[in-house]
Every structure is written in structure tokens, then in C-alpha cells.
Structure 1
Amino acid sequence: MINARIGEVTDRIAKRSHDTRGRYLDRLAAAADNGPRRQKLGCANQAHGFAACGPGDKAMLRAGAAANLGIVTAYNDMLSAHQPYERFPELIRATARAAGGVAQVAGGVPAMCDGITQGEAGMELSLFSRDVIALATAVALSHQTFDAAVFLGICDKIVPGLVIGALSFGHLPAVFIPAGPMTSGLSNDEKAKTRQLFAEGKVSRDALLEAEAQSYHGPGTCTFYGTANTNQMVMEIMGLHLPGASFVNPNTPLRDALTKAAAERAMAITALGNDYTPVGRMLDERAFVNGVVGLHATGGSTNHTLHLVAMAAAAGIRLTWDDFADLAEATPLLTRIYPNGKADVNHFHAAGGMGFVIRELLGDGLLHRDVETVWGKGLDAYVQEPMLGADGALAWRDGAKSSGDEAVLRGAKAPFQPTGGLTLLTGDLGRAVIKTSAIARERHVIEAPACIFHSQEALQAAFKAGEIERDFVAVVRFQGPRANGMPELHKLMPPLGVLQDRGFKVALVTDGRLSGASGKVPAAIHVTPEAVDGGPIARIRDGDLVRLDAVAGTLTVQVDADEWAARRPAEADLEPSHWGVGRELFGSLRTKVGTADRGATIFSDFPA
């Protein structure tokens, strides 16, 4: 029995999306009716498509009866999370042949790392890379020679971009294949302490680099619960992964077995068989509600208040921040994973992981049980976990029925807090989101004078000069999608954390992003309308009393109404953010991009 609030929100999303979802499904059905398009291509087209294949694959493609599986990959060997994908195409090709089909790498998509670009100019391309990845996915699949596709991507903007691209080919089945997290190194808590000591000038750069190298030390995703690992949770709880696949470490026999099983499953759910499961039909409003509930229950990345909205819009579904807010009220927080606690995702996985979370949420009626998944009908299979049997074959067993560590993972009847990890803020400064799961309760309400900055570097300079040793709300503006691509403002957290630890009341208000870096300092982020559009955040002045109230869900400024109405929005010189490191190539995207609460996407034709 579904929880009444979950059911209510799902119903209103379905009603709101009736027309746009209907048109999307009509287009999907029309594409599916064409059958495997490759069989209708001209002879020259087909010959181009299999020219480089080996004799066996070529014969199967010439005959036209075997399933052809497209591989869309975000592989590169610079990024730890994506380096393991180097081996995956050959595993997938061999599996497809054994199943009587063919697999081909359809194309690659870019994969950039926010961890490398944080605080640098390249970060201003990060959010836009999501939409570039969606475009690249469409190019990869545009040859119309595939019956299904598997997607190799794991990190911040890559998975949402792949999902948007996959939904543009919604008549094809789509299976997402993770690579897994790196093994645990230096604890995230120790790493954060070293960063803060460096910000205070108490340790050297060499000491900081050594701490970072011990933390990020091998293949796989970073082990903290940021956007990359939130992506994996979302893919599993929405049924795009195999059960229990998200947090198995790279380059292990179990990881390889799961990769092969994912390829087998993709081959099994094409229109050529009896279990046809097109991704555009599978990802309905219930699946997206499950994704939002998972986000709240695990205290996931704030980036998904953008990504899930954009992904849903690609399927004709109108998901809003108000839906996030109402679902948060019904969803308990079940995990404490860094930055919301000291544990990393390997500890979470060992304590019971996704199988336990899904079991608890299903048991409390907080997830839609009867959704379609790539593994079959319903989420019940997702309370199981994968294992290797005595013969080395992949098998599933019942997942944990109790938490292995209640400091990391708890049941729905005794959660860390009764509501979800994210809160919507509204008020005379616009709309914003805040990640409350990492913030001490005594800091959920901050009222202090504003200190205005137009860059994170300006705040850092003020900190180093000792100019902000007091209570204040840092207003860092002109960081929205139209201004400079909406970068993640990672450089803000160490100095603000230092000042908070010194006993000052500190908070952040910005039209930029923080993502998984959202930590112990109260931060109202994604403020919309953004400053460059003349939003209220552009009218705040130094010394204005700003109130961030995560309990009441408000974001306000205490200025006389007549004075506030008479103020002109501030302006900023954004030219330095529009050139260099490729940023000049993204000018048209900055012009076209939508607002944060509509997913900050360039695909304005999608109904957000």
C-alpha cells in the first residue's frame, strides 16, 4: 500500500504531465512500430555499419535476425571512475555473441571531473557538459542500427546526460552499467580536516596533496556520497541497474559478472523477444518519484534537484521542486554517509546498502513497488544482492534484513531524522534548496548581515585578510547558469567551515551550486531567479539582514519594503568567465539555458 503523500504527489505529477507525457509516448510508439530500423536501411548503409566487424558478427548483421546492442561509453583513462570501462566493451561483445547477437561501440561521450576542475575555469563548463553528453548520445544512436543500448557512465553530469539522450531514443531498451567505487583510502573526515587546516595555513601544500592522494588513490568513483554515487543510487532505485550492482568495486570477479549479466539482460528485453522493455515507457512518473524518494532517504546530492527535473522532462514528465519538498516531508533519512556522516559508500554497502534501503522504503509504502525495471516487473527483486556461487556463476541472495551498522544505515522505523535530506526554501529572495542532512540542527536557522561577493575567490581573499571574522551570510552571486554556467563553488567550504568552527554564525546564499560538497555550513543554493536575470539576490547589499530558515523553509531579507522596491539590481562584469578554457564555445548555451528550478537545461522544448 503506497503512502498517501507519495501517492498524492505521484497523481498530481501524472495529471500535470498528461498531455506532454502522452505526446512523448505517441512518438515512442511510432518509432517502435518501425521495427528494427537497421533491417530497412539501404544496402550501402548496412554495409557501412558492419564493415569493420569480424566474420561472425558480420554474418549475423547481414542476416538481420540477431539483436544488435549499442554501447555508449564515457570511458577515458584520466578519470578514476571511468578508467575501469576500458575493459567493458570486450566483455559485452563476448556476452552478446554468446547470446546469439552482436554488440558494437556506438559512440563515446565526454566525461569531465568536477574534482579536477573545482575552483578552476573548467568548472564553468561542467553543468553544460550534461547537455553536451545528451547530444553526443543522440549522435551515437542516430545510425538506427541498434535494438537496445547499454550505457557506460557513472559520474556527476554523465549519467543524467546519458539518461536524457537515452530517452530521446525511448523506444530502445536501455541498461546502465556502473563501474563501482574505489576501495576505501584515507577517511573522508580526515581529508576534510586536512583541507580546513590548509585553509587556516596550519599545514603545507605537500601535506594537503598527500592527504588527497591517499583519499583518491585508485580506479573507481570517489567514495564520498556526492553526485557520482548518488547517480548510482538513482539508477538502481529507478530500475536502470541490475539489482545490487551500484556499489561493487571495480575489477573484481563480481563486477565482471554483473557487467556480463547486464549485457545479457539488454539483449533479452529488445523488441525481437517477448519481454520488450523500452526505456521511455519504463521511466514513468512512478519511477521518477522513486528516484526522488531515494534521494531524500539517502541524503543525496543537491545536483539532482536539477538533474531529475531535466531527466523527467526528457520523458514528457513535469517534475517540480514543490514535488521534491512534499516528498521530503514523507521520507525519512536512513543513511549517514560523508558529507552527512563519517562513513563512505563502501561502509554503506557493507552495512546493507541499496537492498536494505529499498526493502525499508518498500515496507513503509514509500516506493512504487509495481514499476517496470530492466530486471523485470516490480522492485521486489531489488531487495536482493548479487553474489558468486561456488561454481563462480552469478547468483542473487536475500539482502540484509537489518542494518550491519546503525551509525551508517537505519530502518524506516528509527531513522536519523523523520524527513528527507533536502529542503526547499522560498521567500522574497526567490527559491533555493538546502541540504539539511549534513547540518547540525542548531544551525538550521541563521540570521546575520550579508557580505556580498561576486566570486568564490573574492570570499577567499576576504577570509585570508581577516575581513570576515564575524557573524555573516555570504551572498555569492552571478554564479547561475546564464551568468557563468553555474559552477560548483567548492572553494567556499573550507574558509566558511573554519569561521563556523570559531563560533561565528555563518551561512551561504548563492545562485551557484555546491553538490556533494554541501556540508556542515548552511547553504541556500541554486537561488532562482539568478542575479544575471535581475533576481532579488542581485538587490541585496552589504549589511542587509538575511534570514535562512530551513525549519520554516524560508529565505528572506529584512529591508524596508519601499527601499527594497526602489533598489536597482547590481551588475557584474562577466566577460572573464566567457572566454578561455573553451568557454567561448558555450556562449549560445548560456543564452539558451533555462532556470535552475526547470533543470538548468538548454532543451527548452522539453516541458519542465
Structure 2
Amino acid sequence: MTARREIESVTNRIRERSLATREAYLARVEDAAAKGVYRSTLSCGNLAHGFAACSPRDKAALSGDTIPNLGIITAYNDMLSAHQPYETFPRLIKEAAEEAGGVAQVAGGVPAMCDGVTQGQAGMQLSLFSRDVIALATAVGLSHNMFDAAVYLGICDKIVPGLAIAALTFGHLPAVFIPAGPMTSGLPNDEKARVRQLYAEGKVGRDALLDAESKSYHGPGTCTFYGTANSNQMLMEIMGLHTPGSSFVNPNTPLRDALTREAAQRALAITALGNEYTPVGRMIDERSIVNGVVGLNATGGSTNHTMHLVAMAAAAGIKLTWADIAEISEHVPLIARVYPNGLADVNHFHAAGGIGFLVRELLDAGLLHEDVQTIWGQGLRRYAVEAKLAADGSVTREDAPPASGDEKVLVPVAKAFQPAGGIRLLKGNLGQAIIKVSAVRPQHRVVEAPAIVFHAQDELQAAFQAGELDRDFIAVLRFQGPKANGMPELHKLTPVLGVLQDRGHRVALVTDGRMSGASGKVPAAIHVTPEAADGGNIARIENGDRLRLDAEAGTLEILVAADELARRQPAAGNLSSEHFGVGRELFAGFRQLVSRADQGAAVF
């Protein structure tokens, strides 16, 4: 089935823009693939080092070049709930590989930090940069040239994009991403948000807040709201990098273990040693990237992916822009409501029909490219299914349910919650910015008010506590971009601004920082580019200047005469204190090299 004209038009524009870089990339992929199994080029000393710790059976297998070897890149650690389940995955993968006549080795580990732990802390300034560290660490692991394919164990915010960038850099290798699944449902998200606002107002204490948070984040698996981590899982499946139906199966269940074994065996089946060779660099093309953008908008996914998808696409020689993402958003309806865009969590989404239902609806509406290659074979229709556990312990699949199990959570395209997606591009004399409106009520999408300028989250919170913000205003939080301090997420501001909006004030946020998948009910123009540290006009805003954020018209303006604005000297951020401590001094080179947010905020 052919995608709609509007989707084809954006895809063709991306393809034409990317022609030279994509051709050069594919030439590198083909050159690497033509060299065959890399172990055959290793010296005896090289190879002996590469399998010294293996069993006699695996040593014998790896001595030649006819047995496939699967490299495992893992983001396991046992502090973070989402990655703790990965502890047992290498054993399952190795057993599955042996059953399939192959070998599997852990090629390397990558860091996995949690934005939930570092939120509002100095460590958050390493968060975005950790994506590129993960890509670099993956490259080190795969550089030994021992592998015929790779599986990637990662799930959360920067981990999956970093792994994807690295996988596409090693584009001659097949790549299969293996999720660990979400934790079971805990305290409802709306109740958690209510307690957070009460705490911000001083109406409950820390003990009540910690109790609510602990009941929300209570066990192994990803957090259950639809932030960047769960947006990652949707993307990997709709782009064909997961096995069908695997994204939102809870960890430590028989079905999850069966899916993990199946994914390992599928990775071995699509190496160059078999008949279904599927190098990821050839598999992921402009259509796959567009499908990811469609899925992001249809589900109200994380704004972080306006940077991550740009960077991932660039790793495959594809030039994706914010304008492409925004144009796709205009034609893709919102058909899922998962917190913060609704009250449900991802377990409710999965139970209502999940990604199988989502894929079928979007395909039938002509909003996805069906004719794509996936790790499961040709055609995205293969993903319009539900995965279940067969009597023999293997995975079986059925067609996605014909109707949603809960139309408060997931609906067919004909009953869409809103006609356009949740991510929009803002333009004006402050530059470009991203806004997510799927959780913002229409009456709050246009705000014109005086600016109050802050250079730190704590300044805004202190002003709130002092009673200085009980009025209409637009908070300007600057020097939060990638060049300034690594572009931290600013979730600590959500309860404060939510309280003020609930009191009837017209409020909004304008920042060169991030809000991510937790962008909620308060309008927030984020990722403002050029950022303050790069001389952007956000650095020229003064207290009392009138700003206008219009998410309907797609504009972001400072209502100051152009000549007056040009005369102003940009403010200087006092950032020296933010460049040291918790390892921030080690990232000075990253802050100097990093590209703009609209270019992916990458250091490569």
C-alpha cells in the first residue's frame, strides 16, 4: 500500500536533500559488507585474544568463518529499573544462539543514566551528552571485528538513540534491538502529578511526596508514562528494529524471555552467512525515518526525538529537519492518549491493542510506508500483530484486535483525539523552537505576556515560593542549551507552572533547554535555537518585554522593535560554576563541539 501524497511528498524531499550524503553512506556500507566475515581477516594472535575466554565449543566455531557470531551490546546496570532486567539477557541470548548453531559474546557495555534520578541535579547536564558517549562506547565494543550481527540491550532516554547511531555507523551489520519492557502499573499518573503540585505549593511534605513517587516507580522495567524511554520502544518497533509485538511486554515473564531468545535467533538468521542478509544501514532508509516521525506524532511522543531522530538519521546519511517533523505532524492525527497526554500508562496502551493496532490503523490510513524492509522481512504489515506465548514456550502471533480495547487510550484514525500530531515548530525573531501541544488545552496554546528572565531552575522556584509569580507571565529560562551546560531537562518547573496555570494565570515557558516526553499541560517553547550561549536573541530578552507564543500560528516573538533588539548586547551567562563537579569538567570538549539542537545536538 502506498503512503498518502502528503507523506510521500515529505519523504521525497528528504530523499532529494540527502542524495549525496546517503549515496556516500551506502557506498561505505557496501564496501564493508564486501569484505565478508571480519574474523577471516584477523591474524591468529588477534583471533586467539578474541575467543580466549570462550568454551571449547565456541572456540572451535569461531576458528572458521562459517558460524555466525553475535555481538551483544548491553546497557545493563542494577541501579536503574529499566536496565536491571538485562542482567539475565546475555545468558538467554547465548543459549538461543547455540540452539541456532551460532555463538554470542558480550561485545561491550555502555553507560545508562536515568534522567529521573538526575532530574534537577547537576548530573542532568551529562544526560544529553551521554547519548554520544553511548555511541562511542558501542563503537569501541564492535571495533574488534569479531561479529556478524549485533543485538542491542537498551531502553531509556539517551541509550536507544546512542545505540541506534552506533548501529547505523556499523551499517554493514544486521542490528536487532531487544527491549526489556515496562514495569507493572503503580500509582496512577494523575495522582502522582497531583501530589507533586501539592508539594510545590507546600501543602504536603517530603514524606508524602516520596511515598507517591515510590508507588509510581516501584519495580523492574521502564517508567510507565509515555516519555522518551517508551517513545524509544515505539520507534524501534515501527521502524522495524524490534521483533513484532515485543515493545511493551513486562520484564521477568515467560513471554519476555521467549521474545528475547527469538530476537537473538532472528539476528543470526539475517547475517551475510544466510539467505536473508539484512544490513541495518541498507534497511533503515528515508521511509523508515518518516515512519518513526509518523509514530511519534500519532502517539504524542517525546520532544527529545526532535533531536534524536535528526541525529539518528544523520548517522545513515539522511538529512531530517524540524520542518519535516512539523509538516508530518500536520497530517498525522493523534490516536493514543498515554500520560502526560492522558491518564493511562503504557500497560493500558498495550492492553488496548498497542503497537499492532497502531501500525494497522496508520497503514490502512496511508500514513505509513508499508514497503519497507524490517528485521522481520519485507513490509511493515508484519507488525500489525500481537505477540503471545505458545503452549511450547515459543512466541506466536495473531492479528492485532479489530477494535480498541479502550477508546479512552487508543482509537482508530476515524475517531482520532485530534486531527494533527502533538509536535509543532515555532518560528519568529527568537529563532526556532519546538512545542508539544498534545497535552495542552486549546485555550492555553496562545500566550502573550511580559517576560520574567531566569538563568537557573532554582531561581524560578525561589520566585514562586516568594509569591512573586502570581500573575500572567512567560518564564524565560536561558543558558540551558547544549553549548551552555549540556541542555538539561527542566521537569522541576512543571509542577510550579502547572499550579500557576491552575490558578487562572496565563503562563508559558520559553527555554533553550529541554522538557522531553514529560512536556505537559503548560505551553513550553523548548530547544530555542540559536541558544543563548550561541548569541541567540533569547539572550537579548529583558524583564518586562512582551513575548507572544502562538502554538496555533506556529510563532514565537519578542514584541520589541527590530532596531532596539539589534542594539541590545546579549546577556552573558555565568556558567563557570556549572562546568565542574559530577564529571562535568570532562565534557568541556563536548560543549565546544556540539551542534545546534535543530541539527541533532551531536558532537560527531
Q: What corresponds to 1:42 in structure 2?
A: 43
Deviations 1:293-351 (A, max 9, x none): 00000000000000000000000000000100110111000011000010000000000
Q: What corresponds to 1:3 in structure 2?
A: 4
Q: Distance in 2 between matches of 1:503 and 1:64?
A: 69
Matches within 5 A, 1:410-449: 410-449=411-450
* Superposed displacement of residue 12, structure 1: 0.6
Deviations 1:12-54 (A, max 9, x none): 1000000000000000000000000111210000001111001
* Superposed displacement of residue 533, structure 1: 1.0
Q: What corresponds to 1:144 in structure 2?
A: 145
Indicate if the aligned counterparts of 2:226 and 2:518 stay in contact, CA closer than 8 A.
Answer: no
Q: What corresponds to 1:599 in structure 2?
A: 600
Deviations 1:252-304 (A, max 9, x none): 00000000000010000000011000000011000000000000000000000
* Superposed displacement of residue 402, structure 1: 1.1
Q: Does 1:225 align with 2:196?
A: no
* Superposed displacement of residue 223, structure 1: 0.1
Q: What corresponds to 2:363 in structure 1?
A: 362
Comparing 428-437 and 54-63, the one that deviates more: 54-63
Deviations 1:524-570 (A, max 9, x none): 00000000111010111111110100000000111122211211111
- 3-state SS of paired residue (1:391): coil
Matches within 5 A, 1:497-508: 497-508=498-509
Q: Distance in 2 between matches of 1:144 and 1:393?
A: 32
Q: Distance in 2 between matches of 1:228 and 1:487?
A: 16
Matches within 5 A, 1:171-320: 171-320=172-321
Deviations 1:451-487 (A, max 9, x none): 0000111000000001111000000000000000000
Q: What corresponds to 1:606 in structure 2?
A: none
Q: What corresponds to 2:454 in structure 1?
A: 453
Q: Distance in 2 between matches of 1:515 and 1:581?
A: 22
Q: Distance in 1 between matches of 2:393 and 2:137?
A: 37
- 3-state SS of paired residue (2:398): strand
Deviations 1:59-80 (A, max 9, x none): 1111332100000000000000
Q: Distance in 1 between matches of 2:84 and 2:474?
A: 40
- 3-state SS of paired residue (2:414): coil
Comparing 457-466 and 56-65, the one that deviates more: 56-65
Q: What corresponds to 1:153 in structure 2?
A: 154
The unaligned stretches of length 5 or more in structure 2 are none
Indicate if the aligned counterparts of 2:72 and 2:150 stay in contact, CA closer than 8 A.
Answer: yes
Q: Distance in 1 between matches of 2:394 and 2:305?
A: 35
Alignment: residue pair count: 603
Indicate if the aligned counterparts of 2:478 and 2:532 stay in contact, CA closer than 8 A.
Answer: yes
- 3-state SS of paired residue (1:105): strand
- Residue identity matched to 1:21: R
Q: Distance in 2 between matches of 1:602 and 1:63?
A: 38
Matches within 5 A, 1:37-116: 37-116=38-117
- Residue identity matched to 2:446: V
Indicate if the aligned counterparts of 2:180 and 2:250 stay in contact, CA closer than 8 A.
Answer: yes
- 3-state SS of paired residue (2:190): helix
Q: Distance in 1 between matches of 2:143 and 2:218?
A: 38
Q: What corresponds to 1:162 in structure 2?
A: 163
- 3-state SS of paired residue (1:532): helix
Q: What corresponds to 1:520 in structure 2?
A: 521
Q: Distance in 1 between matches of 2:402 and 2:305?
A: 28
Q: Does 1:132 align with 2:133?
A: yes
Aligned-pair Cα RMSD in Å: 0.6
- 3-state SS of paired residue (2:275): coil
Q: What corresponds to 2:351 in structure 1?
A: 350
Moved over 3 A (4+): none
Identity of aligned residues (%): 70
- 3-state SS of paired residue (1:478): coil
Q: What corresponds to 2:581 in structure 1?
A: 580
- 3-state SS of paired residue (2:432): strand
- 3-state SS of paired residue (1:449): strand
